[in-house]
Structure 1
Amino acid sequence: MSQTILITGATSGFGEAMARRFAAEGWKLIITGRRTQRLNALAAELSPAQVHTATFDIRDSKAISDFVAALPEDFKNIDVLVNNAGLALGLEPAQRCDLDLWETMIDTNIKGLVAMSRAVLPGMVERSKGLVVNLGSIAGNWPYPGGNVYGGTKAFVKQFSLNLRADLHGTGVRVTNIEPGMAETEFSVVRFEGDKDKAAQVYSGMKPLTGEDIADIVHYVATAPAHVNVNRIEVMPTAQSFGGFPVHREQS
């Protein structure tokens, strides 16, 4: 019997790559996003896979609960939830940031993920099986200038994932937090407000992770034996590692 995976934010990047990977493996897919045309095009591309699409903003908690309650019978039993929808906005330091951008990141990366998890988890617990995969970031582990609220939201995702594991102890439901480093998708284009040239400069002279790399990791986690829980995976491109501690020195 084919399994069912729900992927949020499936219209680009990691989510789109995951949809292709799991469709190729014969899974039933529920894909969500804000762009109906892109969702429909992806669903058509994935044929003959069984695909259910839903357009809504992940920041709308009522839309989430209505969506889960209205899932067709063939898609109700969700085996894997991938909380992929998220974004980074801006790189200004905290004292010059746009507060609206901060609130958008909090509403999307934290509130949307929490609302979707709360809507899906009861069914998994009732069936004594399931997996929640959250898309965190190395920004939740390693601070950098301009990361401020984005890094804060991903730190929340990491701790929320660990706390879910504690809450779900004994239920058979698994939880994994995937923490990617530099990856070339639409992520940087969104962060730089559509400036593709500026986004491309982020990856100049190095080979970043791809959506397919992360899709492979999620597939591995999702197909691991039921007695295996991968708590966290932090992954970077080989070209990325760790820097020294910066020191500001007064000029004499």
Structure 2
Amino acid sequence: MSLPAPTADNRAVVTGASSGIGTALAEELASRGYSLILVARRGDLLTALAQKLTERYGITAEVRAVDLSNREQRAPLADELAKRDIAILCNNAGVATFGPLAKLDLQYERDIMELNAVAVHDLSLAVLPGMLERRGGGILITGSAAGNMPIPNNTTYAASKAFTNTFAESLRGELKNTGVNVTLLAPGPVRTDNPDQEEVSNKIPEFIWVSAAHAAKISIDGLARNKMRIVPGVLSKGMSLAGQFAPRAITSVVAGAAYKKLGEQ
């Protein structure tokens, strides 16, 4: 099952489009002729991206500056997407924290769960009826290799990504022969231009990183083929295998120790 062809009326939606994989997904889709709805909190960055993609690829790029962790802000966006012809939804927005949960900002941890898991569920539910009615569409969900196992010192992120991983693969199973594709992107470290990444980038060997552009390309290619899971990079493949086959009592200790180092300043 292929994806719907780009038209003047349909749109590809990318959340978390202001940086990293989200920006790369937006450019990859624009290069394939899709007009876009770009979603993130930082409207200035979205506007600059929209202008660049419009000039480079001749597509239309709409900007929605929305904090997806805020239900009141998210609801109008979900209502809009339910009424639009959405060819592709890239549920990509997400945030991670490191360190013992009880020592972190607990309200922020609640917001992360809302962003990483509940917003993914909400927006997927918004576009799904229309895709089914049109018998065509694609939903790409950015989960994580971290969602394959328990990870102390990365608790909220790992738990939220466990939801997205399972949600994507379960939904894909339900939609067989409907014309709607669902693919999970489960990356490990992805090199981006996000300044927040600098704190951890020096603690991870360079050969483990993959580029955001590479992750975006293979993700859209995989979505077009309705692949269940895209796992770019050496570390993410190793974490995926460990999460499936290694005893969780062992992976919890090993991963927890590694992520504790990432949280140390």
Q: CA deviation at 1:173?
A: 1.4
Q: Which residue of 2 aligns with 1:250?
A: none
* Segment drifting more, 154-163 vs 235-244: 235-244
* Partner residue in 2 for 1:237: 234
Once the two structures are TM-superposed, the CA of residue 204 in structure 1 deviates from its matched residue by 4.8
Aligned residue identity for 1:232: R
Measure the CA separation in 1 of the matches of 2:205 and 2:16: 26
Q: What one-letter code is carried by the residue in structure 2 that aligns with 1:203?
A: I
**1:174 CA displacement:** 1.6
The alpha carbon displacement at 1:25 in A equals: 1.9
Over 6 Å off, 4+ runs: none
Q: Distance in 2 between matches of 1:81 and 1:65?
A: 16
Q: In the alignment, what sits opposite 1:27?
A: 34
Of Structure 1 and Structure 2, which has the larger fraction of its residues in helix?
2
User: Structure 1's 144 and 59: CA in aligned 2 closer, same or farther, altered over 3 A?
Assistant: closer
CA contact (8 A) 2:21 2:192 kept: yes
Match of residue 156 from structure 1: 163
Distance 2:119 2:236 in 1: 32
| Alignment TM-score, normalising by the size of structure 1 | 0.82
| Aligned with 1:128 (options 114, 119, 135) | 135
Question: How much is the aligned-residue C-alpha RMSD, in angstroms?
Answer: 2.6
Query: Larger deviation: 101-110 or 60-69?
Result: 60-69
Q: Distance in 2 between matches of 1:13 and 1:155?
A: 21
Offset, 1:154: 0.5
Q: State which of 60, 79, 82 in structure 2 corresponds to 1:50.
A: 60
Give 1:18 deviation, angstroms. Answer: 1.0
Larger deviation, residues 96-105 vs 155-164? 96-105
Distance 1:207-1:233 versus aligned 2 partners, 3 A rule: closer
- TM-score, normalising length: structure 2: 0.78
1:110 equivalent among 104, 117, 120: 117
Q: Tell me how far apart the structure 2 counterparts of residues 239 and 70 of structure 1 sit (CA, whole Å).
A: 35
Q: Deviations over 1:145-174 (max 9, x none)?
A: 412111011001111112222443443212
Distance 2:72 2:125 in 1: 12
Q: 1:133 to 1:205 in 2, by over 3 A?
A: closer
Deviations 1:111-165 (A, max 9, x none): 1111111111111111111111100000001344412111011001111112222
Q: What SS class does the counterpart of residue 149 from structure 2 fall into?
A: coil
Alpha-carbon contact 2:145-2:236 (below 8 Å) kept: no
2-side partners of 1:139 and 1:119: how far apart? 26
Q: What secondary structure is seen at the aligned counterpart in 2 of 1:180?
A: coil
Given that residues 130 and 174 in structure 1 are in contact (C-alpha distance below 8 angstroms), is that contact kept between their aligned partners in structure 2? yes
Deviation at 1:56, TM superposition (A): 0.8
Q: Residue 61 of structure 1 contacts residue 115 of structure 1 at CA under 8 Å; is this kept in 2?
A: no
**Distance change (3 Å), C-alpha of 1:88 and 1:121:** same
Q: Secondary structure at the match of 2:230?
A: strand
Q: What percent of counterpart residues are identical?
A: 30
Does residue 178 (structure 1) correspond to residue 182 (structure 2)? The answer is no
Q: Is the 1:17–1:215 contact (alpha carbons within 8 Å) kept by the matching residues of 2?
A: yes
